[in-house]
Structure 1
Amino acid sequence: MAEDPRTADDKLDDEHYPAYTMGRAAELLGATPGFLRSLDEVKLLVPQRSPGGHRRYSRYQLRIAARVRALVDNGTALDAACRIIILEDQLEEARRINAELTRRRASS
């Protein structure tokens, strides 16, 4: 595996850098490692793997997992919670694209 040329500060600022082990991620979420594995199984979160094959999670992935956990804790089934998160993210992306296109049209 090639060495990452980024500095420690760059990695800490990168919300997609896989800085958290499964155990630490579960602890931060107040969840179990099994909960995180279930998100991997349904392909909502696909954590990076360390050279030894251990799952590593980013801050971005932990935010998604926390959103799912909140829905599940409020009685939403895991598969429905995952679908809600996906649809929310698609809606946010569509809004971002729409705003960008509106800005371009207004400036031309």
Structure 2
Amino acid sequence: MASKRSSDDARTFLISVAAELAGMHAQTLRTYDRLGLVRPQRTSGGGRRYSQHDVDLLREVQRLSQDEGVNLAGIKRIIELTNQVEALQARLSEMAQEIEELRARQRRDIAVVPKSTAVVVWQPGAARRRRQSE
């Protein structure tokens, strides 16, 4: 999903276009920006540039407000919690990958001798170094 989101965010819209795509008035987008519900990119001159992700978020704000009757403070909290969950899921995925890499490395470095309770740590070249030093 991250790659799709990145490609969506690469394309930006002027406030008038974003407002039309979201089915809102441009002034509503300015208000939502001031309230922190959506945070569009800014040009060097201060103009707002909305990504596809921003437009989707604006549509969700409108749905929550009109269809579900959630007030703007509630919507802001929902957005914050959603962002937090997404960040935690991404971190969990990273940690799961790290654990798998550690397990794979561990399988390469440890050999269990059959019919024994001994665990032998294999070190490449250790026997060769020992013979050369004798």
Normalising to structure 1: TM-score of the pair?
0.74
Give 3-state SS (helix, strand or coil) of 1:79's partner.
helix
Q: CA RMSD in A?
A: 2.0
Equivalent position amino acid for 1:48 in 2: Q
Counterpart position of 1:33: 26
Counterpart position of 2:95: 101
The ranges of structure 1 where at least 4 consecutive aligned residues each deviate by more than 6 angstroms after the TM superposition are: none
Answer yes or no: is the 8 Å Cα contact 1:22–1:57 preserved in 2. yes
Sequence identity (%): 30
Answer yes or no: is the 8 Å Cα contact 1:71–1:81 preserved in 2. yes
- Output the CA distance in 2 between the equivalents of 1:106 and 1:51: 44
Answer yes or no: is the 8 Å Cα contact 1:18–1:47 preserved in 2. no
Answer yes or no: is the 8 Å Cα contact 1:50–1:56 preserved in 2. yes
Gaps of 5+ in 1: 1-12
- Output the CA distance in 2 between the equivalents of 1:39 and 1:28: 15
Q: Does 1:81 align with 2:75?
A: yes
Counterpart position of 1:4: none
Matched positions, count:
96
Counterpart position of 2:124: none
1:30 to partner: Cα distance? 0.9
Q: Does 1:66 align with 2:59?
A: yes
Equivalent position amino acid for 1:21 in 2: L
Q: Which of structures 1 and 2 has the bigger CA Rg?
A: 2
Give 3-state SS (helix, strand or coil) of 1:15's partner.
helix
Q: Does 1:46 align with 2:39?
A: yes
Give 3-state SS (helix, strand or coil) of 1:16's partner.
helix
Counterpart position of 1:7: none
Give 3-state SS (helix, strand or coil) of 2:8's partner.
coil
Structure with the greater relative contact order (CA < 8 A, sep ≥ 6): 1 or 2? 1
